[in-house]
């Protein structure tokens, strides 16, 4: 559904609820004072919230214009603008299932309110909603539920002595005039919450074993280079991601920097994580996971914020980080894992040197896939040799552009690329709207965490091929691109291109950052990847964690110049602009 229709739907829902609560407020004015106090307070509060939301939505719509350019500070999109863009993106791109779910929850709240009254509805609804939708822990949800019950009961029943509506069903059972029954039912609700809180969560499946990380001095040699032909046996395996989260790893080495000096610098400052794409995609998701936890592990505990800077398939973010971002350790960025290859191939627009970045780490090794809408004529990868598939891309250097161009040139596939979307989430929305029929260069971890509904029966998409050095264990029946090579040369080129998956979610600091702060950022990154809170949150969200350290990535990138000139020339020919 087009974005404007989503905006109209959101506006209609807001106006509808506003009218409902205004009507309740008007009706309450005709009642006796004590009787009207409860609906007047509740309705006034909700009306104020809805009016504020309506003003914000209309203001955002008035500001939205095709030629508008977000104001920048030092080349970064301002935090407030990024937050507003993210909220607008949520309202504009939510699939029908999300809207239906929201309406069902709202309807359930009012049905419960009618049936059993506010004293039971509010804590029960808060508990279930926080547990099922917000994915909060049971103790936290139970605490909020108990607090809601105490607030309503203490304010209206005890302090104001206002009779609380008990609902149609409880009123029919004789509870309307019986305070003891009201308190008893509320107590039963509290017991239900307590019982649920004491119920142990189901045990998580055992995580796959993970190899201990190689020592820094040999990590580069053991990892495949994005620009050198690795042997399959020496390549890190994406199979380590058999569990949504990698198994616990050995403790990171002790800090090798002056902690007091680093803490003195970061104390009271803000660390900005720049994302080279719009909100809602895989890179953005990983960056926000990191932002919520890394601050605890950096000496001085700086605040951490995420700022989105979409443009040119994240080349804009890489150029900005390299040339204009502060070189003091207060800015890091995540951008397309394929940007070092863009530099190697002398692509237009590249204004950075990958080896000069201070690589902090990568949160996951990735397996990318090509997908097509289930209603498209493409049912298997071989169909692409005879039938075109219109796909969306985010710009030069991104997997969404590089991979289909590479496959068109090498294997003769007929991907029809429509590029220029601000981020992967925008491509996904275009697929849902029917603007494009698929995408080639979609990390499997992002498919699972951001578009799991596409995989539910009846399936919305067909997964055509997976692109990495080894298959992902989730999809063993989907062909691996290396197995489709027809000659040893084709396989060698594929191994070179898809070895970039080793650094699937990279983070880097600008060149020139003091060495002790680089060491501190790398150490904090490693510690964050071991943080139980991050691991638990990632497990709940089905986000894979299979980290690679910053020094290992630095070694991989340092091997770029070793790529034979004939290989570089062949890759440039295969991926040239048409």
Please, are residues 257 and 519 in contact by the beta-carbon 8 Å criterion? yes
CA distance 300 to 253: 19
Residue 202 has pLDDT above 50, yes or no: no
Helix (H) or strand (E) holding 326: none
CA distance 71 to 77: 6
Sign of CA dihedral 49, 55, 61, 67: negative
High-pLDDT (> 90) share of the chain, % = 40
509 φ, ψ (degrees, to nearest 5): -105, 160
Look at residue 391 and give its three-state secondary structure.
Answer: strand
CA distance 148 to 547: 41
As a whole number, mean pLDDT of residues 319-334 equals 96
Tens digits of residue pLDDT in 522-550? 999 999 999 999 999 999 888 889 899 99
Q: What is the mean pLDDT of the chain?
A: 77
Q: Are residues 324 and 377 in the same domain?
A: no
Question: How distant, in Å, are the alpha carbons of 183, 308, 512 from that of 358?
Answer: 62, 20, 8
Q: Are residues 29 and 128 in the same domain?
A: yes
Give the pair of three-digit tokens for residue 116: 């059993």
* pLDDT on residue 305: 95
Give the pair of three-digit tokens for residue 306: 């995420």
Tens digits of residue pLDDT in 59-71? 655 544 333 333 3
Q: Is residue 209 in a domain? A: no
* pLDDT on residue 369: 96
Q: Are residues 514 and 459 in the same domain?
A: no
Range of lowest pLDDT (68-82, 179-193, 268-282):
68-82
Residue 76 has pLDDT above 50, yes or no: no
Q: Are residues 49 and 190 in the same domain?
A: yes
Which CATH number goes with the domain that contains 564? Answer: 3.40.190.150
Q: Are residues 249 and 348 in the same domain?
A: yes
| Structural domain for 315, as ranges | 220-366+501-574
Residues 6+ apart with CB under 8 A from 339: 314, 315, 318, 350, 352, 354, 397
Query: pLDDT: is 383 or 231 the higher one?
Result: 383
* pLDDT on residue 137: 63
Q: Is residue 383 in a domain? A: yes
Residue 46 has pLDDT above 90, yes or no: no
Residue 182 has pLDDT above 60, yes or no: no
Model confidence at 353, pLDDT cuts 50, 70, 90, reads very high
Q: Are residues 104 and 187 in the same domain?
A: yes
CA distance 473 to 489: 27
Q: Are residues 535 and 440 in the same domain?
A: no
Q: Are residues 492 and 508 in the same domain?
A: no
User: How many domains are there within the chain?
Assistant: 3
Please, are residues 370 and 381 in contact by the beta-carbon 8 Å criterion? yes
Q: Are residues 537 and 456 in the same domain?
A: no
Residue 7 has pLDDT above 70, yes or no: no
In 466-478, which positions are buried (b, 16+ CB within 10 angstroms) versus exposed (e)?
bbbbbbbebbeeb
High-pLDDT (> 70) share of the chain, % = 69
Strand order in the sheet with 331-334: 303-308, 270-275, 331-334, 506-509, 358-362, 548-549
Residue 73 has pLDDT above 70, yes or no: no
As a whole number, mean pLDDT of residues 308-313 equals 91
Q: Is residue 39 in a domain? A: yes
* pLDDT on residue 164: 66
CA distance 282 to 362: 13
Question: How distant, in Å, are the alpha carbons of 41, 162, 167 from that of 37?
Answer: 6, 7, 17
Q: Are residues 114 and 152 in the same domain?
A: yes
Tens digits of residue pLDDT in 204-246? 333 333 333 333 333 333 333 333 333 333 333 333 333 333 3
Residue tagged 């996971």 (tokens): 289
Nearest Cα neighbor of 91 from 117, 57, 66, 45 is 57
Range of lowest pLDDT (103-107, 236-240, 444-448):
236-240
Please, are residues 496 and 229 in contact by the beta-carbon 8 Å criterion? yes
* pLDDT on residue 253: 65
Tens digits of residue pLDDT in 421-431? 988 899 999 99
CB-side neighbour CA atoms (13 Å) of 228:
18
Q: In 10 A of CB 69, how many CB atoms?
A: 7
Nearest Cα neighbor of 396 from 505, 282, 314 is 314
Q: Is residue 181 in a domain? A: yes
Could you write out the three-class secondary structure of 235-260? CCCHHHHHCCCCCCCCCCCCCCCCHH
Bond into 335 cis (ω within 30): no
Nearest Cα neighbor of 368 from 262, 312, 444, 280 is 444
* pLDDT on residue 107: 77
Tens digits of residue pLDDT in 150-160? 777 777 667 76
335: which DSSP letter? -
CB-side neighbour CA atoms (13 Å) of 532:
0
DSSP string for 181-250: HHHHHHHHHHHHHHHHHHSPPPPPPPPPP-PPPPPHHHHHHHSPPTTS---GGGSPPGGGGGSSSPPP-P
Model confidence at 42, pLDDT cuts 50, 70, 90, reads confident
Residue 6 has pLDDT above 90, yes or no: no
Range of lowest pLDDT (292-296, 383-387, 420-424, 519-523):
420-424
Residue 193 has pLDDT above 80, yes or no: no
């Amino acid at each position: 559904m087009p974005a404007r229709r989503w905006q109209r739907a959101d506006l209609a829902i807001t106006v509808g609820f506003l009218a409902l609560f205004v009507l309740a407020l008007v009706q309450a004015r005709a009642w006796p004072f004590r009787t009207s106090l409860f609906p007047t307070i509740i309705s006034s509060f909700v009306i104020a919230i809805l009016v504020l939301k309506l003003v914000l939505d209309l203001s955002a719509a008035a500001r939205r214009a095709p030629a508008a350019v977000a104001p920048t500070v030092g080349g970064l999109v301002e935090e407030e603008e990024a937050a507003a863009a993210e909220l607008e993106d949520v309202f504009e791109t939510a699939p029908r299932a999300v809207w239906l779910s929201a309406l069902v929850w709202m309807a359930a709240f009012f049905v419960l309110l009618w049936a059993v009254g506010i004293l039971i509805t509010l804590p029960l609804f808060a508990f279930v909603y926080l547990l099922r939708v917000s994915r909060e822990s049971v103790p936290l949800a139970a605490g909020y539920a108990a607090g809601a019950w105490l607030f309503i009961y203490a304010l209206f029943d005890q302090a104001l002595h206002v009779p609380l509506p008990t609902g149609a069903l409880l009123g029919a059972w004789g509870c309307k005039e019986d305070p003891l029954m009201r308190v008893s039912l509320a107590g039963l609700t509290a017991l239900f919450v307590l019982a649920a809180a004491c119920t142990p969560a189901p045990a998580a499946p055992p995580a796959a074993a993970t190899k201990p990380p190689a020592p820094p001095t040999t990590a580069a040699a053991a990892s495949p280079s994005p620009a050198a032909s690795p042997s399959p046996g020496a390549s890190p395996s994406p199979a380590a991601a058999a569990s949504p989260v990698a198994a616990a790893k050995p403790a990171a080495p002790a800090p090798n920097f002056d902690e007091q000096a680093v803490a003195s610098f970061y104390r009271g400052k803000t660390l900005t994580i720049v994302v080279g794409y719009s909100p809602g995609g895989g890179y953005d998701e990983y960056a926000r996971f990191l932002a919520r936890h890394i601050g605890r592990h950096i000496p001085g505990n700086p605040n951490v914020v995420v700022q989105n800077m979409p443009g040119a398939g994240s080349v804009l973010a890489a150029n900005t980080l390299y040339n204009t971002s502060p070189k003091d350790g207060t800015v890091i960025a995540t951008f397309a894992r394929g940007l070092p290859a863009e530099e190697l191939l002398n692509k237009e627009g590249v204004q950075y040197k990958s080896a000069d970045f201070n690589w902090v780490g990568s949160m996951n090794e990735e397996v990318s896939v090509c997908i097509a809408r289930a209603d498209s004529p493409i049912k298997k990868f071989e169909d692409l040799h005879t039938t075109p598939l219109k796909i969306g891309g985010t710009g030069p250097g991104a997997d969404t552009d590089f991979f289909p161009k590479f496959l068109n040139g090498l294997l003769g596939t007929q991907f029809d690329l429509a590029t220029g979307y601000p981020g992967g989430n925008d491509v996904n929305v275009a697929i849902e709207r029917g603007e494009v029929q698929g995408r080639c260069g979609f990390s499997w971890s992002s498919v699972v965490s951001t578009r799991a509904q596409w995989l539910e029966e009846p399936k919305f998409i067909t997964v055509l091929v997976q692109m990495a050095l080894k298959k992902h264990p989730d999809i063993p029946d989907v062909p691996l691109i290396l197995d489709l090579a027809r000659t040893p040369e084709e396989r060698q080129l594929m191994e070179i291109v898809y070895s970039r998956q080793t650094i699937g979610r990279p983070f880097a600091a600008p060149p020139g950052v003091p060495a002790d702060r680089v060491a501190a950022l790398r150490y904090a990154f490693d510690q964050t990847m071991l943080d139980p809170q991050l691991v638990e949150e990632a497990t709940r969200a089905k986000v894979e964690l299979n980290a690679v350290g910053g020094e290992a990535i630095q070694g991989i990138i340092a091997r770029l110049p070793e790529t034979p000139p004939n290989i570089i020339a062949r890759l440039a020919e295969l991926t040239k602009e048409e």
